[in-house]
Chains A and B, each alone.
Chain A
């Protein structure tokens, strides 16, 4: 891919982000519910005090003006102040982001290491009992709602078996000074295997809950593309050459069968972001998803706008990345 192509794709981002910000802004502005009223709660206050608060939050200005101020500041990297935290939105988001990224990555790894072997196995033993079971599991994986499945896992592993913690990222006794803000990495860098295991025990259940739908989808993709590849002439030829079954499968078939899996995985990683909101709420995970959920209910406009923009950028970049990956894996395709 030439640099020109690359630049073109990057420029595509501009209208997408502008469109997203317009939509988010309008959606938030049109959603009934007044942040000032929510903030005041159940109190007797005078109209003067109320309008002073409104002025302080910048909500006394007309919507159009607010939008242009928002866009004008956003292009300079200033997303305004969170109504509730009374600090710059970018700071509040940055604090929560590492937890979300860590959880998403572990969920991604979980999905990849489970879905690919299972998908391959299901393809090799097509129509066997194992294949059928795998089909049922993948169906459940896509259809089980995360909040329900997560709570089932909690009841089993935390309450009944009492072997995993219910909520949070790490026990408070495993205090470590942050380096990368990814606890699984920081605990190892600090030479604290006990804290690492503690962090791992906290992330297992949310990562499984978050990764399950992706596992299910990737398993189906891997299975069907493996089945297709196994019927190709070059596979028959390799077998005819007398190569071992293992060699045919892993050296010849799997390599090609994984192309669609990898690109679907890259795109699906974007959907992990959406799933985060539910999973983080169920498992008390201190990430961005939960912050956004809370902010939506409080009509904390600046934070929701910035977070949705961030989601949009990530999603677009992941799609872009998937395209590039596809061309690398399959040189026949050009961007």
Chain B
């Protein structure tokens, strides 16, 4: 036994001393998921885009305040309600040294939107992200014109999700080659993709500098960037604490203290874009009555839960929109008042309260149980039923088919921060995210009109009105927008988390 112990210790010490020294300007990110592909047009996952976006630039991008600014484009103008012109910057080089032209931009957009353009009869799974884009043309040498089949004011908000590829390169390597090879215009070039393990990139010295509106402009600060894939939360935190990585995403609230107390690490937060809410089945026997829905709203002490369970890292909401979203505004609040809940229940004909079940995904069980105990205190005896994400979504998002269940603790993301992407799917009659079974023709008409309204001020006003309607009708209890929480090493500087959950490493430096 002793011998074995000694042997193990000796080999462990040998290994430790043999570990290679880390280069000073390497930045490692402990990241939850590997990319599915490196082809910007052939995936449908946020994590994949986060990785790819450091090697590819887009026509437009967002600054840290989430404003849309030109990136590869120099400027853009709206020629008519359904026509946009993008003037392409000159002097932008791909990683292979070739120049980017308007042809490449047109090719990129065609590849994303034309049926079968991916080759092998395949259409890009990202086509729907460009909505009614009908055709793309080059009007004079360096201007790309996008024609829409109908007005779609959120085009600029959606373009940062797409990255520009090199026409010549794609024609050379094909869609198959683009899955593993990168020839972008972004601040980093691909060195190696060790699938499932890590993606290694190095600085592109001929980088044009990125968006002129986002300081600093120029090549990236660090020499190398490594996305190391660590799906398990505890392991990701361990990697940060041990100094193996410099940034981790999805830091759980219960690890915040641990990361803050470590002398070499810190916590960074940014307002997220995901709204949490509780859907109440309006087709069900209790929640067809607005009084019962109001009783639920008055029974939940949101501030308490944000404070105790979410560690203060969330912003309370009274409508579906995040406070940072376009068109959001101050709305009336349903104050925490359990007595009022009981009174409302009695008025609705339930003097002895009601018994309900709340469906929730495993990851949010704690929060749901806290809410359930608050509801129970107010006469709404709630039991929590844990289910798996896809299964619950199937049960609740029935697109008009009859649904079972009482309440569903759920959420909807809004990466574009435009209401169109969150308001319409969750509130329009029978739309794909309408888990409450809410049906209000007046709201439907308003949402449809707002989606194509081009006057920004008027559009914002329409969404404000829509928010007031749902705040009054209360198909959901609107809860909060949690912050995205990152753990970072103290040797990191120049980097800030971004609300759209991109990890943009262009400006990041390490000591």
Contact = CB atoms under 8 A, between A and B. Distances in A.
Contact of B244 (A40, A158, A169, A170): A158
A285 to B, nearest CB: 8
Interface in A176-223: 194, 197-198, 200-201, 204
Nearest to A114: B4
Contact of A173 (B20, B125, B391): B20
A241 B69 CA distance: 92
B194 A286 contact: yes
A174 B176 CA distance: 28
B15 A163 contact: yes
Interface string A163-177: 111111111111100
Contacts of B36: 84-86
Given A34-B390, A155-B238, A167-B228, A42 B196 contact: no
B154 to A, nearest CB: 9
A21 to B, nearest CB: 22
B402 interface: no
Contacts of A49: 127-128
A121 to B, nearest CB: 9
Interface stretch (B73-81, B103-111, B417-425, B482-490): B417-425
B335 interface: no
B24 interface: no
A283 B45 CA distance: 23
B112 interface: no
B195 A167 contact: no
B330 interface: no
Nearest to A155: B238
A172 B200 contact: yes
Interface residues of A, number: 66
A159 B242 contact: yes
A145 interface: no
Contacts of A3: none
B149 to A, nearest CB: 12
Size category, B interface: 35 or more
A49 B432 CA distance: 13
Contacts of B235: 151, 154, 166-167, 282-284
Interface stretch (B57-65, B392-400, B499-507): B392-400
Given A38-B390, A297-B390, A201 B198 contact: no
A96 B16 CA distance: 27
B129 A294 contact: no
B194 A39 contact: no
A162 B496 CA distance: 28
A259 B20 CA distance: 43
A14 B33 CA distance: 36
A32 interface: yes
Contacts of A31: 390-391
B414 A42 contact: yes
Nearest to B8: A204
B242 A158 contact: yes
B120 to A, nearest CB: 10
Given A32-B391, A197-B14, A198-B20, A290 B231 contact: yes
Contact of B239 (A87, A166, A200, A287): A166
B347 interface: no
Contact of B192 (A175, A198, A201, A204): A175
A244 interface: no
Contacts of A50: 128, 432
A175 B413 CA distance: 38
7 contacts: A39-B44, A45-B128, A56-B123, A87-B176, A166-B235, A166-B244, A282-B235
Given A44-B424, A99-B197, A174-B20, 11 more contacts: A31-B391, A33-B390, A34-B393, A86-B37, A164-B15, A166-B230, A201-B15, A282-B232, A282-B234, A284-B230, A286-B194
